[in-house]
């Protein structure tokens, strides 16, 4: 009998991909699945971020009308005729607030977020007695203890909001406030419209609003200290 041909062993044909098979993927958790189906929150725009910051200081904010990259605050010394720096400098925001509680009309304010200290300047348009634009300075006058106090704001504008544009805007907002004051009477306007626009103390951020009496009183106090020093 012819010798038997050796029985050929059956060889399994491995797929090349099987020979380098990767570990089986781990099943996604519920958290991963939820993250997959829920779209990520869109990034906030610069305007939204600015409004979020300002609203921490002024909850009655409606929207920001204009922004100046920098503004420097001065107080005027009537006796010497000099302008003194008030140690307040930073980005300036011209804002529209919630409607007036008396007339329903629009209200406005200016805010300077102070990069030189923890006190920010916040002025409601109705607090201002007079607005003048002179020699590139926005001049604001206030009635304080039967005296007129004068503040100067030197504004650094940019390609979006020039110094002149912001100055004219602040003056227009002041004129609107004066029309409302005439309409409802000064006393009622002062009591109702000029209510504090600062955040409640429990919700207030670290930076606080400096009052006009504090702002103008600093120079008077400094002069008294120098007088007694000598």
pLDDT digits (tens, 9 = 90+) for 46-103: 889 999 999 988 999 999 999 999 999 999 998 888 999 999 999 999 999 998 877 7
Average pLDDT, the chain: 78
Which segment of 9-23, 99-113, 122-136 scores lowest on mean pLDDT? Answer: 9-23
What is the topology classification, in CATH, of domain 46-198+205-229?
A: PH-domain like (2.30.29)
pLDDT digits (tens, 9 = 90+) for 165-184: 999 999 999 999 999 888 88
Q: Is the pLDDT of residue 203 over 80?
A: no
pTM: 0.73
Q: Is the pLDDT of residue 230 over 80?
A: no
Q: CA 41: distance to chain centroid?
A: 22
What are the domain boundaries of the chain? 46-198+205-229
More confident of the two residues 207 and 61 = 61
Q: What is the reported pLDDT for 184?
A: 80
Q: What is the mean pLDDT of residues 198-204?
A: 61
Q: What is the reported pLDDT for 46?
A: 87
**Concatenated DSSP letters of 14-83:** --HHHHTPPPPPPPPPHHHHHHHHSPPPPPPPHHHHHHHHHHHH-TTEEEEEEEEEEEEEEEEETTTTEE
Tokens of 139: 């001049």
pLDDT digits (tens, 9 = 90+) for 118-164: 899 999 999 999 999 998 899 999 987 788 999 999 999 999 999 99
Asked if 97 and 58 count as a contact pair (C-beta separation under 8 A), the reply is yes
pLDDT category of residue 196 using cuts at 50, 70 and 90: low
Helix (H, G, I), strand (E, B) or coil at 125: helix
Could you give the percent of the chain with pLDDT greater than 70? Answer: 69
Q: Is the pLDDT of residue 115 over 90?
A: yes
Q: What is the reported pLDDT for 26?
A: 44
């Amino acid at each position: 009998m012819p010798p038997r041909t050796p029985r050929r062993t059956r060889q399994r044909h491995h797929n090349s991909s099987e020979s380098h098979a990767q570990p089986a993927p781990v099943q996604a958790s519920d958290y991963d699945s939820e993250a997959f189906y829920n779209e990520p929150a869109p990034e906030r725009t610069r305007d939204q971020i600015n409004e979020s910051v300002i609203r921490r200081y002024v909850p009655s904010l409606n929207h920001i009308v204009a922004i100046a990259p920098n503004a420097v605050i001065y107080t005027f010394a009537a006796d010497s005729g000099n302008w003194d720096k008030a140690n307040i400098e930073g980005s300036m925001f011209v804002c529209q607030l919630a409607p007036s509680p008396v007339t329903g009309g629009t209200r406005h304010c200016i805010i300077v977020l102070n990069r030189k200290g923890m006190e920010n300047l916040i002025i409601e348009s109705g607090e201002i007695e007079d607005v003048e634009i002179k020699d590139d300075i926005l001049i604001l006058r206030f009635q304080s203890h039967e005296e007129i106090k004068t503040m100067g704001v030197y504004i650094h504008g940019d390609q979006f909001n020039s110094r002149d544009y912001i100055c004219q805007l602040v003056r227009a907002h002041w004129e609107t406030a004066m029309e409302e004051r005439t309409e409802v009477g000064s006393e009622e306007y002062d009591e109702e419209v000029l209510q504090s626009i600062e955040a409640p103390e429990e919700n207030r951020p670290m930076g606080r609003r400096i009052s006009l009496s504090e702002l103008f009183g600093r120079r008077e106090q400094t002069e008294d200290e120098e007088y007694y020093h000598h």
